[in-house]
Amino acid sequence: MSDAADLLAPETRSRSSDAPSVDLDALYRESGIGEMLAGMDRELVGLLPVKTRIREIAALLLVERARRSIGLRAEPPSLHMCFTGNPGTGKTTVARRMAGLLHGLGYIRRDHVVSVTRDDLVGQYIGHTAPKTKEVLKRAMGGVLFIDEAYYLYRPENERDYGQEAIEILLQVMEDNRDDLVVILAGYRDRMEVFFRSNPGMASRIAHHVDFPDYEAAELLEIARLMTEGMQYRLAPEAERAMGDYILRRMAQPRFANARSIRNALDRARLRQANRLFEARGNAIAANDLLTIAEEDIRQSRVFTQ
């Protein structure tokens, strides 16, 4: 009997004369992950290392599914993850995409993400933390639990802090229900490293670490275009050049938050556009005017005066 046949479950081994095989391409098509990965490439700017890692995880899960289909024994793979990077680098967005991918491959029951922070898990008084944490876990079961700024769960400087209780409950559920819940921790890379050193039990349960790079200026300008289109606006050519100037200036300033800062800038540009149109309300306003962000709507930002 071949080595491969030795690994097969008994019911499959009895049919070993019929060399077991699986159509990996058919599984790929049936899962729909090809469309999900293509959508990720099309709709998410940059993030090449992140996209590469997601493809690697998708390949692992597809092969594990193929193994199970021919009777090979396979423990459910650990899918708990840590996303590290600066604010506005797409961690929450990718978590939603990851939920869709895991659901398509049959590793979670629901294409569902519950996003929380410390305040959703940790109580202020004795006896409050356990019910809060268990309620969140109940809502997330069957899908993905995304914990942003997860390092705030651990505050050793405060002996009356109840974050450790939430961590202990999470650890137990992550181990006992790893076939029905995926937990994604997120935050700054250096702070998450400190968190894991202080909580080795949590570190041992995280199988995949994905680091999100900051966006480059050209990528942020493309993000601005996509956001504008998504809001059913458009940047006039001069406004697009002004946005490019804005991005370079804003990147050099404190508290820059990548795509989040770009969204904030566009929200303020829309406010200026609305005020400009309001001042001209005595005249008929063309549809094109309602759609267009003008150069002045961008350059009135205080970023250009600092």
Residue 159 banded pLDDT, cuts 50, 70, 90: low
Please, what is the average pLDDT of the chain?
87
* CA–CA separation, 135 and 131 (whole Å): 6
**DSSP assignments along 108-157, one per residue:** SSS--EEEE-HHHH--SSTTTHHHHHHHHHHHHTTSEEEETTGGGG--TT
- Averaged pLDDT for residues 34-38: 85
Domain edges within the chain: 24-212, 217-304
Structure-token match 């305040």, residue found: 119
Burial 62-91 (b: 16+ CB within 10 A, else e): bebbbeeeebbeeeeebbbbbbbbbbbbbb
pLDDT in tens, 88-140: 999 999 999 999 888 888 888 999 999 999 999 988 878 788 999 999 999 99
Q: Pairing relation of β-strands 182-187 and 81-85?
A: parallel
What percentage of the chain's residues is helix, strand, coil (to nearest 5)? 60, 10, 30
* Reported pTM: 0.82
Q: Give tens-digit pLDDT for 186-203.
A: 999 999 999 999 989 899
Which parts of the chain are beta strand (E)? 81-85, 113-116, 144-147, 182-187, 208-212, 234-235, 292-293
Distance of CA 227 to the CA centre of its chain: 18
Domain 24-212 has CATH 3.40.630.30: no
Residues 6+ apart with CB under 8 A from 289: 277
Question: For residue 128, what are the contacts with CB-CB under 8 A and spacing of at least 6?
Answer: 162
> What is the per-residue pLDDT across 209-246, written as a single tens digit (0 to 9) for each?
999 999 999 999 999 999 999 999 999 999 999 999 99
CATH class as words, domain 217-304 = mainly alpha
